[in-house]
Amino acid sequence: GNSVTQMEGPVTLSEEAFLTINCTYTATGYPSLFWYVQYPGEGLQLLLKATKADDKGSNKGFEATYRKETTSFHLEKGSVQVSDSAVYFCSHTGGFKTIFGAGTRLFVKA
Amino acid sequence: NAGVTQTPKFQVLKTGQSMTLQCAQDMNHEYMSWYRQDPGMGLRLIHYSVGAGITDQGEVPNGYNVSRSTTEDFPLRLLSAAPSQTSVYFCASSYLASGGANTGELFFGEGSRLTVL
């Protein structure tokens, strides 16, 4: 069935470190792929998206590339800040259902 | 600039009680949905709607009812609460692309934390 698998957290980094959060998916057809971010006490916010193979989504210094051959959509950022501390969710949408991964908590230390 | 508004933010129920979680959006989105968020499990889809009068089940619909009488509102009803329904509930909406396809770009409310004793 359809699913999304993310690397387990928490991930703890120092400020200005490089971030990678892995995400792989299983799906029928060619879903759109998304990363959402959740700050404490808030709902999820769309961070970036990609709708077809080889598309790169980017926003606020974060990037992710839709890799159909490896069914992956890894999130990267070159230099994290304390304000990036949050929970990150990978998801895909096929039809009218969006499937989310379990989320990866990121802590960034000053 | 309200976006998606959920009420109440917190609720404590006893087993067997009923209640309704309210969700309203002011963006004229056709698509609305309810998720529950549990530790280590991400978000799981309960029910969704693609327009007034149209609803369908998600991954975990048992124990929940929904209806959609207007574009703006999408309430979630628990008819007989159980401890397994203790969770944080999120309402989310999105617009549909031309032709009715789901864009998947969800706008979330701030969540409703429900505890069932």
Q: Which pLDDT score, from 0 to 100, does residue B42 have?
A: 86
Candidate from B4, B43, B48 with C-beta closest to A100: B43
Q: Which of A84-88, A94-98, B3-7 has the lowest mean pLDDT?
A: A94-98
| A44 to B90: CB separation less than 8 angstroms, yes or no | yes
Is the predicted pLDDT of residue A17 greater than 80, yes or no?
yes
Is it the case that residue A28 has pLDDT exceeding 90? no
A66-74 own/partner pairs: CB under 8 Å, 24+ apart: A66/A33, A68/A30, A70/A24, A71/A24, A71/A25, A71/A26, A71/A27, A72/A22, A72/A23, A72/A24, A72/A25, A73/A23, A73/A24, A73/A25, A73/A33, A73/A35, A74/A20, A74/A21, A74/A22, A74/A23
Q: What number is the average pLDDT over the span A29-35?
A: 91
What's the confidence (pLDDT) of residue A8?
84
Q: If you average pLDDT over every residue of chain B, what do you get?
A: 94
Pairing, β A104-109 against β A11-14: parallel
Say whether pLDDT at A41 is over 90: no
Record the tokens describing residue B36, joined without a space. 């529950």
Q: Grade residue B14 by pLDDT with cuts at 50, 70 and 90.
A: very high
pLDDT greater than 90 at residue B66: yes
CB B33 within 8 A of CB B99: no
Tens digit of each residue's pLDDT (9 = 90 or more) over B45-60: 999 999 999 999 999 9
- Considering chain B, what percentage of its residues have pLDDT values greater than 90? 86
Buried b (16+ CB within 10 A) or exposed e, B54-92: ebeebebbeebebebeebbebbbebeebeeebbbbbbbb
Nearest residue of B to residue A92, measured between CA atoms: B104
What amino acid is encoded at A42 in this protein?
E
**Residue B20 pLDDT:** 98
Q: Tell me, what's the pLDDT at B31?
A: 95
Name the DSSP class of B2.
-
Strand (E) or helix (H) holding A76: strand A75-77
Q: What one-letter code names the amino acid at B26?
A: D
pLDDT band at B100 (very low <50, low <70, confident <90, very high): confident
**With an 8 Å Cβ cutoff, are B102 and A43 in contact?**
no
- Cβ A41–B110 below 8 Å, yes or no? yes
Q: Which residues pair with A72 in a beta bridge?
A: A24, A67
Q: Which of A96, A99, A102 sits opposite B40 (nearest CB)?
A: A102
Residue A2 has pLDDT above 90, yes or no: no
Please compute Rg for chain B using Cα positions. 14
State the pLDDT at residue B83. 97
- A-side interface with B, Cβ within 8 Å? 4, 32, 34, 36, 41-46, 49, 89, 91-93, 95-103
- Type of residue found at B75: P
What number is the average pLDDT over the span A47-57? 95
Q: Closest Cα to residue A10, out of A90, A66, A86, A72? A: A86
Residue B2: pLDDT over 80 = no
